[in-house]
Structures are given as structure tokens and as C-alpha cells.
């Protein structure tokens, strides 16, 4: 099968791309290498993929560039789209930066959907949404059918807008799609601005870890390998469904720090600062729908997954040290 993965150089996108290639599929990766974080990290994420003959990279900005190169790369072959490209980050989505979120999460999605509509060789479009669409819900866990989306951040608004766009293109043009609401993904290649990356780097360098709020807030942390497995299963669903992909349990940040201290075998100093605008108090996914429709079950618990990310970070740090000394 031929796959188009937008955001292929990103954290989740590169892990998904490697999985597809390992299964023997052909992948067209689309990425514009925004400088929200160092583009060199994104290119490193694709180092394995680039070495494969079955991978093609198109450096395109979906919000403005012509998609003719994508048209030419696909030809008449049947294909599936994983739309993962987005401007991420809750805290930076306020103020003037909001225009970037509209550009990459709304405009880019609409232009991709315009290109996809009416294509008989499109088998499915999988839209990567976010738990941020829920906001602060009245009851837990967060369910696709009963938890009314009320985003608590501008970022969440744009991801929900993307869901609405996918839904209306499906309704008007008969386009197959499925949307996955991802819950706090972590693991190898996690973005450097994300919590676990910051925690691990600070702890390894014996610097204090900064916590926004009191540390008692909880998240449904989900290992990237489990997310990728969910994506691989969800592409068979063409009934225009919205599906949560999460671990299905809440873990408080203080528990994460305790686990990290145990994994590293050292005391971790913590500095508490004021809550950030847009941060919800808790997240917790109901994964009943994913279990029923996909037969999907997240396998990696927080301790195992965190240990895996620590090991990956150590390996990367050693490689950087060798590169500098060499």
C-alpha cells in the first residue's frame, strides 16, 4: 500500500513512518520543517526513512504550496493519508502566535482536504486530533459520544476546527475519514518542548525541574508505540468515526517525577511556578470505543515507557558527545 504521511519528520509522524516502512509499504512523507523547534532534530528523525528506497520526502507547506508534486508522486495508485502535520503546543497558542496555529492546523487541513476530495483512489484519511479538544470536562473519563468538546486553549480550538473540516468534507463529498484524539504522547523522539523531554534532560544534568502548578494535575500519558499501533488499526475504519487513543488511566505529575527519580537513581529537585493559561487540570481517556472497534489495547505502562524514553535520551546524548569530540 502507498501511504502519505503529513508531518512525517515530527515526533509521532516519524515513528509511524518507520513502522509503515518496516512493514514493506511505500511512504510519501510531507513536511515543511517549521522552526518551532530545531529542524535538524526533525531531519534526524527521518534518518532511517531517508535510507530506504521505498520512502520519498516532499518538502511542502500544505498551507500555501501547490500540491502538484504530491499529485505526481501518487499518480493513479491507491493510497491512504495520515494527516499528522500541525502546529503543536498549548501554551504558545495565545496572542500573535495564534495566526500560526490557524495557518498550520486549519488552513493546511482545509487545503489538503480540497486536494483529497473526489479522488477515487483515496482509501482513507486518518486525522490526528488531540485530547485538547475536550477542555475541562464535567465528568471523567473523556468519552467521544458524551463529553462535549469545549477547548480550553487556542490550540484546542484549531484542532477541533480540523475535526469539523474533516467531518464536513466527508459529509459533502463522501470522503472516507477517521479522527483520532491523542492523549499526551511520550516516548523516543518526543519534542524537546514537551514535559517528559524537559524533565529528563534537566534531571540528567542535575538541574531543577520546573512544574507548572502544584504537580497534582493528572494526564493520560500514552506511549508513542501504542499510538502508532492504534493508527495502524484505525485506518481500516471508514465510517467517519472519532476515536480516543490513550492509555486509559490518570497519572499525576508528581508520580511521574517519582518514577523518573527511581529510573535515574537520583534525587530530583523541583521548582513550582504559576499555572499556565490553557492547561487543563486533568485528562483521562475512555478507550472503550477503540477496544470495541479496533481490538486495540495500550500495552506500555508509564514506568516502562518513561524508562524507554530515558534510555533513548541517554543514547542520543552519547551520540552528540561523540560527534562534538570527533
CB within 8 Å of 176: residues ≥ 6 apart: 122, 123, 124, 125, 170, 238, 240
> What Rg do the C-alpha atoms of the chain give, in angstroms?
19
Catalytic-role residue among 152, 155, 169, 223 = 155
Residue 324 has pLDDT above 60, yes or no: no
At 238 the pLDDT is: 81
Which CA distances in Å does 4 have to 27, 277, 288?
6, 35, 28
At 195 the pLDDT is: 95
Is residue 155 part of the annotated active site? The answer reads: yes
Q: How far apart are CA 96 and CA 154, in angstroms?
A: 11
pLDDT tens per residue across span 202-246: 999 999 999 999 999 999 999 999 999 999 999 999 889 999 999
Q: How far apart are CA 83 and CA 109, in angstroms?
A: 8
Which CA distances in Å does 312 have to 63, 197, 318?
33, 11, 10
Contact 17, 54 (CB under 8 A): no
Residue 60 has pLDDT above 90, yes or no: yes
pLDDT classification of 108: cutoffs 50, 70, 90: very high
* Beta carbons within 10 angstroms of residue 211's beta carbon: 19
3-class secondary structure, 306: helix
Q: What is the mean pLDDT of the chain?
A: 96
Residue 321 has pLDDT above 80, yes or no: no
Q: How far apart are CA 70 and CA 108, in angstroms?
A: 14
pLDDT classification of 272: cutoffs 50, 70, 90: very high
Delimit the domains of the chain by residue range. Answer: 2-185+224-248+283-299
At 268 the pLDDT is: 96
Q: What percent of the chain has pLDDT over 90?
A: 96
pLDDT tens per residue across span 115-148: 999 999 999 999 999 999 999 999 999 999 999 9
Give the three cell numbers for residue 232.
495502524
At 279 the pLDDT is: 96
At 317 the pLDDT is: 83
Q: What is the mean pLDDT of residues 60-64?
A: 98
Residue 325 has pLDDT above 70, yes or no: no
Residue 322 has pLDDT above 70, yes or no: no
At 326 the pLDDT is: 55
CATH 3.40.50.720 fits 2-185+224-248+283-299, yes or no: yes
Name the one residue in this structure whose C-alpha cell is 474533516: 166
Amino acid at each position: 500500500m502507498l501511504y502519505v504521511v503529513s508531518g512525517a519528520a515530527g515526533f509521532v509522524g516519524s515513528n509511524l513512518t518507520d513502522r509503515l516502512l518496516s512493514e514493506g509499504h511505500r511512504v510519501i512523507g510531507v513536511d515543511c520543517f517549521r522552526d518551532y523547534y530545531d529542524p535538524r532534530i526533525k531531519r534526524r528523525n527521518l534518518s532511517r526513512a531517508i535510507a530506504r528506497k521505498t520512502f520519498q520526502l516532499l518538502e511542502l507547506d500544505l498551507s500555501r504550496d501547490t500540491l502538484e508534486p504530491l499529485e505526481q508522486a501518487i499518480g493513479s495508485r491507491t493510497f491512504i493519508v495520515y494527516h499528522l502535520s500541525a502546529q503543536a503546543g498549548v501554551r504558545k497558542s495565545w496572542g500573535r502566535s495564534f495566526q500560526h496555529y490557524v495557518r498550520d492546523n486549519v488552513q493546511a487541513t482545509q487545503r489538503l482536504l480540497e486536494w483529497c476530495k473526489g479522488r477515487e483512489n483515496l482509501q482513507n484519511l486518518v486525522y490526528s486530533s488531540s485530547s485538547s479538544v475536550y477542555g475541562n470536562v464535567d465528568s471523567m473519563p473523556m468519552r467521544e459520544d458524551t463529553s462535549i468538546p469545549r477547548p480550553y486553549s487556542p490550540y484546542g480550538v484549531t484542532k477541533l476546527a480540523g475535526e469539523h473540516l474533516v467531518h464536513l468534507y466527508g459529509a459533502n463529498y463522501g470522503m472516507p475519514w477517521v479522527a483520532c484524539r491523542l492523549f499526551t504522547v511520550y516516548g523516543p523522539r518526543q519534542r524537546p518542548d514537551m514535559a517528559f523531554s524537559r524533565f529528563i534532560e534537566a534531571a540528567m544534568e542535575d538541574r531543577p525541574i520546573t512544574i507548572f502548578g502544584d504537580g497534582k494535575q493528572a494526564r493520560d500519558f500514552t506511549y508513542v508505540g501504542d499510538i502508532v499501533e492504534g493508527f495502524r488499526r484505525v485506518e481500516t475504519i471508514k465510517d467517519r468515526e472519532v476515536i480516543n487513543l490513550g492509555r486509559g488511566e490518570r497519572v499525576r505529575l508528581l508520580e511521574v517525577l517519582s518514577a523518573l527519580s527511581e529510573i535515574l537513581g537520583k534525587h530530583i529537585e523541583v521548582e513550582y511556578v504559576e499555572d499556565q493559561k490553557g492547561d487543563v487540570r486533568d485528562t483521562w481517556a475512555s478507550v472503550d470505543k477503540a477496544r470495541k472497534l479496533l481490538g486495540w489495547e495500550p500495552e506500555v505502562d508509564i514506568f516502562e515507557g518513561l524508562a524507554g524514553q530515558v534510555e533513548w535520551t541517554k543514547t542520543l546524548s552519547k551520540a552528540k558527545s561523540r560527534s562534538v569530540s570527533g
